[in-house]
Structures are given as structure tokens and as C-alpha cells.
Structure 1
Amino acid sequence: MTTIRDVAKKAGVSVATVSRFLNGSGYVSADAAKAVTDAVDELKYELNPVARSLNTKQSHLIGLIVPDITNPFFPELARAVEDVALTYGYTVILCNSDENPEKERNYLETLKKKYIAGFIVTSNQLDAPHYANMALPIVALDRAINDRIPTVSSNNREGAVMGTQALLQRGCKDILFLRGPEKLNPANDRFEGFMEAITESGVNYHIVTCPFHFADSEKIVEGFLKEHKEIDGIFASSDVSAAGALKAAVTLGIQVPAELQIVGFDGIAMGEMLSPGLTTIAQDVYKMGAIATRVLIKRIENQEIEQHFYEVPVQLKLRGTTRSVEK
């Protein structure tokens, strides 16, 4: 088995020089670097990643913490993070927190012991101290944690204005807004956008707090529609909630979009698979994950980042749960 000493002997340099070059931990002259590279290739030497992490106190591992892996939005984010990380030579470890602060802290402490290089975090916690005080690089994805941590998110407020206006332009006179969890920044921004658009319109509206879960949303909407048969439009803070609303309408025999129009928020692939297809405010999920990964890797490698807050535009995607614009 080829050792680092064999490489040093073949290259005609010291073991310390080989170690500095392979670990990127110090200056190595161009001649020495070429000699080491040639020796590594000729001897087919492979650096043990475990040994490397013990030596440098850092691995090429990135921790990705998401709150709910059953929500299709987060696997789509994870795919983007993994794709981009691999192109830079990093491996992603996916952690599902189940929206539990203790699980988040446990993942952080466990992975720090594995010399994790940094974290991308989609957290339900606002200004969590265990993130704010961490020495490792962190990027917040979709949900801001605090002003000191770089954040990548969508323009949630503007998207909610667009979604509400889409229902109003199509003749809705009594709209139900499925508000997301109140401790979630994106949900709060979407609520503010809805209120901005609906207040200006003067139409009737109702607000129900609803988790980003299909079954819960279905149950909540079914109960509400039974009591409020006048509802002719639903704007949901997530596509999963919108899918639950669509299922509730079908169960009650309400025709979509003839009697009830529905708009979601996310733009996940599932929306196209529903029947009818879901009209939604589409986030560029892949772009969000890709930007977050590049920002984190720059921070890991001590490169300057261009900005601290990245806001990705959204767009309205019209499908079968809404009608054409009334003239």
C-alpha cells in the first residue's frame, strides 16, 4: 500500500511538503507541486479522507438540515444542493429535523464532531442562538435565521400579492387564505402580501392558520367549506396546503375551477401531477438551493461573498385550478 512517505521519496521532497500540498494547508512551490502531483499519479496514491479530516480538522462534508422531508419542496431543494456540492467536490449529509429544535441541535453537535465543513439550514427557529454563536460557516435557505447569517430566499411578499391578484382578476368575491405557521418568516411575508392585495380590493376574505401538511390542510379546508359555502377562491401559503384544499373540494363535490378556484405557493413538481393541475406562485427552487450551496462553499474556502441576502424572483404559473381572466 502506497504511503505519503513513498510519495515524498518519489517526488524528492519532504513528507511535510507533500502533506501541505495535498491538504492545501500551506505554501508549496510550483516545482514541488508538480513533482508531488506526478508522484501521486505514478504511484496511484489516494489520500485517506478520514486521515485528512483528522489532520486538517475539516472534511469535504456539508450538512443540510431541513424541517420536513415529506414535504416535496425540501427534496427538490436538497437535489439542487447535492448537485452543486458534488461539482465542487463536497458531499451532502441530509438531516430531517421534524421541526424539532432538539433534533436540530443534536445534528449540529454530532456533525461538528465529524469535522463538517459547514451547514445549509432551513430552520423554523427565529434567531436560534445555537446557529448565531457557531464558528462554522452557515447559510440560511428559504428561512432567515438572523442578520449575521447569509440568507437565500424567494420574494414571498410579492408572490403573495401576485397570487391574490390572480384570484381577484378571475372574479373571486369571497376568498379563503390558508395562512402558514405564524413562527415562519416566509409564511409571515406571504400573509403580509395577501393582506396588502386583499385590503385594496375590498372583497370578502377569511384567514385560517394551516400547517404545511396535506392531511391537516384537507381536514381544515373541508370543515371550513362546509360552514362557508360562499367561498369561491382559496389562496394557500404552500402547494401542499393547496393540494389538501383541492382534495377537500373534490370530497365535497365542489367543482374546481367552475365553483372554486385555488392558487398555491411553491411551484413544486407535484402541482403539475394533480388533476386539475395546480395554479401556483412558483419559486425557482433549484436556483435557491444552488445559490445557497455556492455561497456556503465560498465561505468555507474563505472567499468573499458578493452579498449577504439573496432574493430569488417568483412567477405565476397558470394551470387548471383557475379560470381565464374575466372580461
Structure 2
Amino acid sequence: MPTIRDVSKLANVSVATVSRVINQSGYVNKETEEKVRQAMAVLQYVPSGMARSLAGKNSATIALIVPDILNPFFPELARAVEAEAQERGYTVILCNSDYNAEKEQNYFRVLASRRIDGIIIASNTIRPDQLLALQKQEIPVVVIDNQYPDLPILSLVSKNREGAKLAVRHLLEQDCRKIAHLSGPIDVTAARERSLGYEEEMQERGLFVPSLIAGGQFQIEGGYDAMLLLLERHPDLDGVFAGNDLMAVGALKALYKADRKVPQQVKLIGFDGIALSTVVPELTTVAQSITDMGRQATGYLMKMIQKEPVTRRTYELDVHLLIRQTTLTE
């Protein structure tokens, strides 16, 4: 393998000059820089990211840790993170934790040993002390879909509670009066906030009944099972707010199995706005801007990597209602 010394000999310059060209630090005239780059091309020399990080330079690599790569929300998020990172000259390492805290912690150890420049993480199992420990190691961290209001941790969340209220109001406007809720895992911040929004809106109108809520995982199977349970409890329900779009798709399958017509007999709304929500029938959903979330998370991370001033707090992103076939009867 060619070394930096081989490059310096071929270009007839010092090792220090080659280092300045590679790291873009210090002055090198254009003619000399071109000689160095030509020598690198001839030798097919690739600078070591590890060597640069050990020398105090950035490795130009960040990590994105997600809990479930099979959930379409996270590939869309990863695409946005990668696009923003590439525009800034960074590479992204994608890690899937499977909602496993031990696997997550192992990722932290490996990434720290590789001198990763920063981490974006979507997790409901990560503890605040773990995040603070990473920051003490000078590894910037941005959290997605979780928040720590009393700690100096930068996080991005959508307005989940407000979005849930938008969903309930829309179903009420469509003449639904017995509205059920398919709740995601209560230990997930987004699921908890969406459930609270549903409950508050229903209580305000005197329509809240605890047995109208059934829990499940943020997956198609979770929505399917929870929907069948709710139909047993309340066969006369006429509206359903699902905790995310995957659960809504599962609910749709269960409603078809029970021979309940959507939207004529039961109106259905999801949350997220993933591409899968455009299947037939197209799903009414509360959409969060997944692209904006990914790009903003990357932008904040870059500011911290580059030691630019940024306030480490929770940033909320707007949501909006996409009205489609599953709630419209006309």
C-alpha cells in the first residue's frame, strides 16, 4: 500500500506539504497542490480516515442509529441524512439497533473507537447519562423522536400531540362519534405523545372511553391485532386513529377481514406520511416532514462537529393533515 512518504517523494515535496494538502490546512500554492494530487492519483493513494482522526482531524464520517430499518419511516430518514451529509463532504454509517439497548451500547463503543465525528440516534432505550457520556468524549449527538427538556441534549421531535388532535378533529368533522385509537408502545415518546393528544381531545368533547384504546407495536401486525381487539370491544366504532401509518395499514387489513367498509362504515387515519400511505385506498394521515427532520438533524450535528454555536435543546417540527380516501365518503 502506498504511503504518504511515497507521495512526497513522487511529488518532490515534504511530507508536511502532502499532509497540508490532504487536510486542507495551511497554505500550499496551486502548482504544488496539483503536483501532490497527481502523485496521489498515480499511486492510487487514499488518505487514512483513522490516521487523520488520530492527528486531530475529522474523519468526515457520521453514524445514524435507527431502531427498525424495516419501518419505512427510517429509510426515508436515512436518505435525507445521507443527502445532507454528502453535500457537506461526509459519509454516513447506518446502524440498526432492533430496539436492543445492548446492541445500541455496542455500537457506541465501536463508533467511539473509530473516532466517529458525530452520531444521530433514534432510540427509546437510550439513557440520558449515555448521551452525556458521549458528549464528554467530544462526540456530538443529535437525538430524533425523543426529548430531554432539563438536559443539554439536542433533539428533534415532531409536534406529535398536536398532530393527534388534528386527527381526532378531522374524524369528528367527518361525523365520527365513536373514535378508537391504536396506540404504539407507550415507552416510545412519539407514541405516548400521540396517545395523550387523542385522549385530551376526546375528553374535551366528553367522548373519551378508556376501552377505545388498544396498544401494539409500530408495525402492521400490531395494528392488525389491536384493530381486531377493538372491534370485539366496540363493534359499533366508526372512526380509528392509528399511532402510525404501519399500524393503520394493519388496521385496514383487519377491517376488511371483519367486512367493515372503509371509509363508508369506518374512517381511518394514520400518522407519519410515509410513502406506503399512498397505497390503494390512499391513507389519510398526519404527515411529519421526514426529509426536513433528517436534514435538520444533520445540519445541527455538523454545527457541533465544527464547534459552531448551537443551543442544545428540543426543537419541534410542524405536522400537517393529508386528507385522502380512507376518511372521505364522497
TM-score normalized by the length of structure 2: 0.89
Alignment CA distance shift 1:102-1:33 (3 Å): farther
Which residue identity is paired with 1:70? L
- Partners of 1:36 and 1:266 in 2: CA distance: 52
Decide which of 34, 38, 41 is 1:38's aligned counterpart: 34
**Residue 39 of structure 1, CA deviation:** 2.4
Q: Is 1:127–1:145's contact at 8 Å kept on the other side of the alignment?
A: no
State the SS of the aligned residue for 2:93: strand
State the SS of the aligned residue for 1:264: strand
Q: Which residue of 2 aligns with 1:276?
A: 281
State the SS of the aligned residue for 1:98: coil
State the SS of the aligned residue for 2:325: coil
Alignment CA distance shift 1:201-1:36 (3 Å): farther
Q: Which residue of 2 aligns with 1:317?
A: 322
Are 1:211 and 2:232 matched, yes or no?
no
Are 1:248 and 2:254 matched, yes or no?
yes
Are 1:300 and 2:316 matched, yes or no?
no
State the SS of the aligned residue for 2:223: helix
Q: Is 2:40–2:46's contact at 8 Å kept on the other side of the alignment?
A: no
**Residue 42 of structure 1, CA deviation:** 3.6
State the SS of the aligned residue for 1:302: coil
Are 1:191 and 2:174 matched, yes or no?
no
Q: Deviations over 1:205-232 (max 9, x none)?
A: 4222221011122012113203311111
Aligned residues: 320
Q: Which residue of 1 aligns with 2:166?
A: 162
Which residue identity is paired with 1:22? I
- Partners of 1:36 and 1:306 in 2: CA distance: 41
**How does 1:138-177 map onto structure 2 within 5 Å?**
138-144=141-147, 147-177=151-181
Q: Which residue of 1 aligns with 2:265?
A: 259
Work out the percentage of aligned pairs sharing the same amino acid.
42
- Partners of 2:14 and 2:127 in 1: CA distance: 48
- Partners of 1:13 and 1:116 in 2: CA distance: 31
Which residue identity is paired with 1:139? V
State the SS of the aligned residue for 1:71: coil
Q: Deviations over 1:88-115 (max 9, x none)?
A: 1211111111111001001111122222
Runs of 5+ consecutive residues of structure 2 not aligned to the other structure: none
Decide which of 266, 271, 293 is 1:288's aligned counterpart: 293
Q: Is 2:72–2:274's contact at 8 Å kept on the other side of the alignment?
A: yes
Q: Which residue of 2 aligns with 1:84?
A: 84
Decide which of 209, 228, 235 is 1:229's aligned counterpart: 235
Alignment CA distance shift 1:180-1:130 (3 Å): same
Q: Which moved more, 1:98-107 or 1:152-161?
A: 152-161
**Residue 204 of structure 1, CA deviation:** 4.9
Q: Is 2:303–2:310's contact at 8 Å kept on the other side of the alignment?
A: yes
Alignment CA distance shift 1:252-1:171 (3 Å): same
- Partners of 1:242 and 1:184 in 2: CA distance: 17
Runs of 5+ consecutive residues of structure 1 not aligned to the other structure: none
- Partners of 1:182 and 1:278 in 2: CA distance: 24
Alignment CA distance shift 1:20-1:197 (3 Å): same
State the SS of the aligned residue for 1:321: helix
Alignment CA distance shift 1:2-1:207 (3 Å): closer
Which residue identity is paired with 1:250? Y
- Partners of 1:306 and 1:145 in 2: CA distance: 13
Q: Is 2:182–2:226's contact at 8 Å kept on the other side of the alignment?
A: no
Alignment CA distance shift 1:307-1:35 (3 Å): farther
Q: Deviations over 1:130-151 (max 9, x none)?
A: 2221121110012225632211
- Partners of 1:126 and 1:195 in 2: CA distance: 27
State the SS of the aligned residue for 1:281: strand
Q: Deviations over 1:56-100 (max 9, x none)?
A: 474222111101111111111111111111111211111111111
TM-score normalized by the length of structure 1: 0.89
